[in-house]
Structure 1
Amino acid sequence: MSGTVVLTGGVGGAKLVLGLLQVVDPVTVTAIVNTGDDFRHLGLHISPDIDTLLYTLSGKANTAQGWGREDESWAFLSALRELGGEDWFLLGDRDMALHVLRTAGLARGDTLSTITAAVARRWGVEAKILPMTDDPVATMLDSDVGELEFQRYFVALRCAPAIHAIRFAGAEQASPAPGVVDAIMTADIVLIAPSNPFLSVDPLLAIPAIHKALSDTLAPIVAVSPLVGGQAVKGPTVKLMGELGLPVDNDSIARHYAGLIDGLLIDSGDDCSVTDIAIAHTPTLMVTLEDKARVARAALALAAAID
């Protein structure tokens, strides 16, 4: 067995991974990261969920803002605006360095996996960070204003359009990145972070070989609910659930992961009536480092209690 695997995306996922690193040996943790949010902007390959995790685990994240780097400057964006360039996706000067480095590496024939690993090593991140795939996968949303790529919906339109369906272009043909399937199959525990199930976790599950590995692994799989008191801490989870016709409760989260998870960790004030999985409670709002460690510890304890 090889430790703990976390399926993650976005800020909530990064918080759980950071908490996990406080309670177990970081070298035993493997984070498999959503890349359905990746896109090309101004000719650059941007991997928002990978970058959020890299910044968070290396201590470079802007924790107050919830995205991007601390001590950022905006000279590039200001000059871009002067020229009439697209400024809806905010690119800070420090953040740009990572996008330029990644794009240059991909142009040389390097993979997203190798580039990510090199940055993690450079920044002293001991946990293993694996993109879900090195192949292109794009989260596409069928909305009341037409089909939208994820970043256009999430950033430019601020999640305002109503969503009718979600698809992951390229997922059926995508292969897991090197090490992904092996990490899942040899894990002691698999955790699903409190990331948006429909936008941040489903892209991973849409890759057939990843879904099969999760179905076949002997490790207990525990999801952490993204809901606290019937609300999402961040992002469009609740709005999206309503638009997709789902009750906004933990029963919906449990049913969404039915057949894969063995347990669900939910907030102390919430409940879940699904009876075929183990349920545990803890305060799941993660503000401080101690909060993050507590949630990670509770998720591990629930997994350890599953036969």
Structure 2
Amino acid sequence: MRITVLSGGVGGARFVLGVREWARRDAAARGLPEDAAHDIRVVVNTGDDWWLAGLRIAPDHDSLLYALSDQNDQQRGWGRRDETERVAAELQAWGVTPEWFTLGDLDLGVHIARTAWLREGTPLSEVYRRLGARWPLGVTLVPATETEVDTHVRTVDGQLMHFQEWWTRYRASLPATGFENTGVASAQPSAGAIEAIAGADVLLLAPSNPVVSLGPVLAVPGMREALRSASAPLVGISPVIGGRVVRGMADACLAAIGVQTDAAAIARHYGARSADGLLDGWLLAVEDAASVDGLTRAGIPTRAVPLWMRDADTSAALAGDAVALALHLG
């Protein structure tokens, strides 16, 4: 079975880990090699990418790469473990990089490799393949688009800044009036993304930030049409539990586009496929079970399940619930 996940951010990486763990357990239960039962593809948000010190930085891709390869720093929640920052200190001393965005030395190795290949003219999809070939990831990562579509934030005082500055430097504390994906009008989905969606048996929207992690993916011209025309059912997972975001500052992003920090409101933001939206099904937390009937009546079959991904067991259970709902709907 092919499972395709649209993902971005640390929450998305955590969910993809759960999907991989569920697939391994399902294969073992059926007496199959762990890599034989399921083909997992991940369409990765590129809207967080940016240029810094002449290097192409790709936070969402690298969060997935490090998590799936077990290279991630679980204490900090980002970057690589056993990291040093000597080069970052030198770059900041020279005024080349800001003090609010630190690049680890091991992390810099990835950015240098990525940038070198891109400057040689290597397509981003091939860069993903080369970076992913170093470790046994158990999934295939593909970019949402080959085009640079960096996300910028417009604040209430009229500033327009890169998303990374708004998010990392200001911690989303500057009220925003909107988000712009520069260059998206001329973008198109990558061939890998189209193939992953069209060939899927199950489509999943990870519990990622709906605005800046999944929003840029869905903003690529042709992406929504590819999802709506896919034969596989699409199930989304709420990034909000009991009216609170699970991680990060997604509430500030939602407020900027006029969407409540509420599981039902986010489902309606995505919309039902039957009403020209995207969702065939939705998972929300047991804490939000009161919204199940209303969403189901609105054309989005909804289930209330445990959403907290505390460890491999709970993450795999959530992935299993998402797959089960998709197969039920299919």
Q: TM-score, normalised by structure 2?
A: 0.89
Q: Distance in 2 between matches of 1:49 and 1:291?
A: 22
Residues 80-229 of structure 1 correspond to what in structure 2 (within 5 A)? 80-85=91-96, 86-145=98-157, 146-229=159-242
| Deviating more after overlay: 140-149 vs 49-58 | 140-149
Q: Distance in 1 between matches of 2:217 and 2:173?
A: 25
Q: Distance in 2 between matches of 1:175 and 1:241?
A: 25
| Deviating more after overlay: 196-205 vs 267-276 | 267-276
Q: Distance in 2 between matches of 1:8 and 1:247?
A: 21
After TM superposition, the runs of 4+ consecutive aligned structure 1 residues lying more than 6 A away are none
Q: Distance in 2 between matches of 1:69 and 1:200?
A: 21
Q: Which secondary structure state, in structure 2, belongs to the residue aligned with residue 199 of structure 1? A: coil
Residue 120 of structure 1 contacts residue 129 of structure 1 at CA under 8 Å; is this kept in 2?
Answer: yes
How far has the Cα of 1:46 moved from its partner? 0.4
Residue 120 of structure 1 contacts residue 126 of structure 1 at CA under 8 Å; is this kept in 2?
Answer: no
Residue 140 of structure 1 contacts residue 169 of structure 1 at CA under 8 Å; is this kept in 2?
Answer: yes
Deviations 1:158-212 (A, max 9, x none): 1111111122121121122222112111110100000000110011111122111
Q: Which secondary structure state, in structure 1, belongs to the residue aligned with residue 178 of structure 2? A: strand
Q: Do residues 251 (structure 1) and 264 (structure 2) align?
A: yes
Aligned residue pairs, count: 306
| Deviating more after overlay: 192-201 vs 135-144 | 135-144
Residue 181 of structure 1 contacts residue 209 of structure 1 at CA under 8 Å; is this kept in 2?
Answer: no
Residue 18 of structure 2 contacts residue 317 of structure 2 at CA under 8 Å; is this kept in 1?
Answer: yes
- Kindly provide the amino acid, as one letter, of the partner of residue 317 in structure 2: R
Q: Distance in 2 between matches of 1:50 and 1:228?
A: 25
Q: Distance in 1 between matches of 2:70 and 2:120?
A: 29
- Kindly provide the amino acid, as one letter, of the partner of residue 208 in structure 1: P
Residue 136 of structure 1 contacts residue 170 of structure 1 at CA under 8 Å; is this kept in 2?
Answer: yes
Residue 243 of structure 2 contacts residue 262 of structure 2 at CA under 8 Å; is this kept in 1?
Answer: yes
Q: 55, 64, 83: which is aligned to 1:44?
A: 55
Deviations 1:36-93 (A, max 9, x none): 1100001100011000000000000111211100111111122223334422211001
Deviations 1:115-164 (A, max 9, x none): 11111111122311001111110112111241121111111221111111
Q: Do residues 304 (structure 1) and 327 (structure 2) align?
A: yes
How far has the Cα of 1:6 moved from its partner? 0.2
